[in-house]
Amino acid sequence: MTRALSTGTFFVAVLLYGVASALFFLDIARKETRITASIGSVPPPRRSSWAAMSLGVAAAFHLAYVTFASLVARVCPVNSVHFSLSVASILAIAVYLPARRRVRIDAIGVLLAPLGLVFVLGTFFLGQPGPAHTISPAFLALHVLANLAGTALFLLAGGAAMLYLVQEKRLKKKRTDRLRIGNLPPLEVLDQAVHRFLVAGFPLLTLGVLTGTIWAKSLENGTVEEILRAVLGYATWLVIAAVLILRAAAGWRGRRAAYGTIAGFCCVAAVLVVYLVRPVVELGSPRIGG
């Protein structure tokens, strides 16, 4: 009975976290069209209320799942890192929901909802006994394609952010007339391009993080290269989420958004370097006997 309750609460939590993640992301993606004269004059959209409600109910089922799963696995949440992360995400949501009524921090939900989903998935897969799960080729292809597409869009966003800083510097030094061939687009166009590339790439990278949670079990005994790659992937996701949140909640645009995007670009570049260095090391290692 307890195992059935554990499984049921897990699937409900996953579903509601997914709904909340989608609603919060749509709110972030469409916020640009709602900004008119001043930030703060637009009332919170109804979508945010549904997202917050879904997030709260998801956290409640998440707590129920952790409770039932602890009884089934006989694991104390305090003594398990993965269960502790789940509890921490639930507490963060519990603080966020009442705080959003007093402070305009609705955009933080785009970070909390996927994190709750990652932690509940991680707790489920990491708690499974026996050998590692068999990954189907279709699932592996989804994971790889999502990460590749998200990485490509973030590279484009990083390039646009660099062009923004170059154009801004040129405008400040009044050098716009010296280079007639290949003049850069206006700052507003570059800023919008950065934002759109980030908005397009964020859900893809989120999908990559979620599907990659299944491999989290191997990271406990993984190589330095595997752990570093995972850490850089999560760091990239967190940096991009922070840029989107600050743009929506604090009005970050222009230079600050460009610097934040370049920080995410550096994380993406570091992940690519890890991927590229590995085959070089393997090819360059000495072989005995031909």
pLDDT digits (tens, 9 = 90+) for 247-268: 887 777 888 888 988 988 888 8
Residue 57's pLDDT band, with cuts at 50, 70 and 90, is very high
| 55-64, 98-107, 140-149, 193-202: the lowest-pLDDT one | 98-107
Residue 15's pLDDT band, with cuts at 50, 70 and 90, is very high
pLDDT at 106: 78
Return d(Cα 175, Cα 190) in angstroms, integer.
18
Q: Which of 96, 99, 126 is nearest to 20 (CA)?
A: 96
141-155 pLDDT, tens digit each: 888 888 888 888 888
The pLDDT of 194-223, averaged and rounded, is 77
Return d(Cα 238, Cα 241) in angstroms, integer.
5
Q: Is the pLDDT of residue 238 over 80?
A: yes
Q: Which residues of 161-199 are buried (b: 16+ CB within 10 A; e: fewer)?
A: bbbbbebbeeeeeeeeeeeeeeebeebeebbebbbbbbb
Residue 169's pLDDT band, with cuts at 50, 70 and 90, is confident
Block residue for tokens 């991927």: 275
pTM for this model (two decimals)? 0.71
pLDDT at 181: 39
Q: Is the pLDDT of residue 289 over 60?
A: no
Q: Residues of the chain with pLDDT > 90: what percent?
A: 8
The pLDDT of 48-71, averaged and rounded, is 87
Question: Using an 8 Å Cβ cutoff, are 96 and 51 in contact?
Answer: no
